[in-house]
Amino acid sequence: MFKEVLQITPKLTSGDLNNMERSLQSRFTKVAKGFGKGLLGVLGGAGVVGLVGGAIGSAISGIYDRLVAPLKETQSAIERTLKQADDTATNARAFGSSTGDLARLNAFGRATGLDPGQLAVLVQKFQASVAEANADPNKATAVRQFAGETNAVTGFFQFIQSLQKLGKNDQIVAQQEVFGEKQILKLADFLQSDFAKLSKELGGPSSADLTKSIDKLSALNDLTDLKTAQRELADNTKKAAVINTGVVEANDRQAKFDLEKENKRIASYDSIAAMALTAEKINQKIDDAIIKLADIAMKMGSLTAAAKGIQGAPVVRLPGRKAGEM
């Protein structure tokens, strides 16, 4: 068996591959021409004009989208940044903390799976427990040593670290008392964190630098809100000057037309659904054809590479044996 296999001499040449490629290309060209003629016959002249017009319209629309999309994305990024900064500053004021301290705490939360909203709930619960301890000096509570603490962020952070020194059962009891049973799972990874190590890994600006940056962004967000309110107030008189009975009547006519078009489509729902299904089937066939063409192209590429590799190569030998021997 090995003799029969090993004595086969490669016969495939680059000329054979070129002939195969030309033959396939000729077939594909004929198919494409036939498909094009059939499509033109179905569409007719008006259809061709419509296709060209649609192609031009699509091209213009694509160019417009490419030019405008970066602007919209940038505007969204600005709005998102200002809003996040304002939320951090608002929560920091409510917690009696600096925005930088809260931003660092939020970063610890992010690194352990807690988003700022979830972390804010936990800080609020800690703050409420401290308020109860302040109101009743005789009440035995897990946050007794934090009574009188006005900075809920630093107090919460110290409380979490103090819990790490307790036994497992005591940790659970303290968590249930302060945060409630539903919050324990959310807090689990955060509670077990090595914050000294995490702080080094996070790096980043200091709390003081963060405070300056976030406070600036928060002030800009407040200015943005003020400008929006000013525009809306001033625009009331401008809108009143241009919106009249004619505008309302035109709007009513458009609304009636839209409803009529909608009702016609509902009445023809079966036909529209059948047309959509046909279009989906056509798209599926086109996808299948493209996949087959891709497979053929891949095989042709593999054959070409194989031919180049084996041309002029010696007959295959097993290690330590002569050609033709087992």
Integer Cα distance of 26 and 24 in angstroms? 5
Evaluate whether 180 touches 121 at the Cβ level (below 8 Å). no
Evaluate whether 104 touches 117 at the Cβ level (below 8 Å). no
Q: What is the mean pLDDT of the chain?
A: 79
Q: Which residue has the higher pLDDT, 28 or 170?
A: 170
pLDDT at residue 148 tops 90:
no
Identify which of 139, 175, 181, 135 has the alpha carbon closest to the alpha carbon of residue 159: 175
pLDDT at residue 67 tops 60:
yes
Q: Give per-residue pLDDT as tens, 255-287.
A: 999 999 999 989 988 888 888 888 888 888 888
Q: What pLDDT band is residue 131 in, cutting at 50, 70 and 90? A: very high
The pLDDT score that the predictor gives to residue 10 is 45
Identify which of 167, 166, 165, 142 has the alpha carbon closest to the alpha carbon of residue 155: 142
Integer Cα distance of 302 and 296 in angstroms? 10
The pLDDT score that the predictor gives to residue 324 is 41
Identify which of 30, 22, 31, 26 has the alpha carbon closest to the alpha carbon of residue 300: 22
How far CA 86 is from CA of 181, 217, 225, in Å, comes to: 30, 7, 11
Q: How many CB atoms lie within 10 A of CB 93?
A: 13
End-to-end Cα spacing for the chain: 9
Measured torsion, CA atoms of residues 41, 47, 49, 55, in degrees rounded to the nearest 10 = -110
pLDDT at residue 322 tops 80:
no
Evaluate whether 112 touches 190 at the Cβ level (below 8 Å). yes
Identify which of 108, 128, 247 has the alpha carbon closest to the alpha carbon of residue 190: 108
Overall pTM surpassing 0.75 (yes/no): no
pLDDT at residue 195 tops 50:
yes
How far CA 287 is from CA of 36, 294, 298, in Å, comes to: 18, 10, 16
Contacts of 17 (CB under 8 A, 6+ apart): 300, 303, 304, 307
| Tokens coding 6 | 């090993």
pLDDT at residue 90 tops 50:
yes
Please, what is the Cα angle at 73 between 72 and 75, to 5 degrees?
65
How far CA 232 is from CA of 18, 218, 228, 277, 298, in Å, comes to: 71, 21, 6, 46, 61
